[in-house]
Amino acid sequence: MAQKHTPHATEYKQSSIMTNILFGSRWLQLPLYLGLIVAQAVYVFFFGVELVHMVGKATSLAETDIMLIVLGLIDVVMISNLLIMVIVGGYETFVSRLNLEGHPDEPDWLSHVNANLLKVKLATAIIGISSIHLLKTFINAENLSDKVLIWQTIIHMAFVLSAVSIAYIDKLMSHSTTNQH
């Protein structure tokens, strides 16, 4: 009769230590997320400076200038939203649970966040940010070369195609996962 191989206590202990090291390494991402929070604070400061600038010069600014400043403010807000998705969604997905169940301010998307959903949300946020930049470019088109307009449009379309591709791949993956169960 063949004898079963049972791991010795030292083999198990070494395996357990390695598992703990590998699993614990996810905490190395914490300083990255904290750094993104600092970056968001810089954006909040920038938003305040631009807002004060706009209000202070409101009577002397042309409508186009006000529109460009407002689009810049919207851009800051959208980048801030992108940062929140990365910080909160990334932390929840890759580091540790936030345990917000039942919290009145828990975002709806956080309850079913995963790496694929996060990619799709990030891709759509990037399209939104790119759209604002493109709109600013079109408003200011008379001061820009055709080459700049064409390249910004091409870059925006590349973002759109990337997001559609990511969403399609996610749909295919979730569909094949559903069929396997």
Report pLDDT digits (tens) over 42-72.
Answer: 999 999 999 999 999 999 999 989 999 999 9
- pLDDT recorded at residue 121: 82
Q: CA 173, CA 116: separation in Å to the nearest integer?
A: 9
Report pLDDT digits (tens) over 124-174.
Answer: 889 999 999 899 999 888 888 999 999 999 999 999 999 999 888 888 887
- pLDDT recorded at residue 49: 96
Nearest to 126 by CA among 100, 155, 88, 94: 155
Q: Domain extents for the chain?
A: 26-111, 114-181
At how many degrees (to 10) do helices 63-84 and 115-139 cross? 170
Residue type, 13: K
- pLDDT recorded at residue 9: 60
Report pLDDT digits (tens) over 68-102.
Answer: 999 999 999 999 998 998 999 889 888 998 888 88
Coil vs helix vs strand at 147? helix
Residue 106: pLDDT band (50, 70, 90) is confident
- pLDDT recorded at residue 118: 81
Coil vs helix vs strand at 125? helix
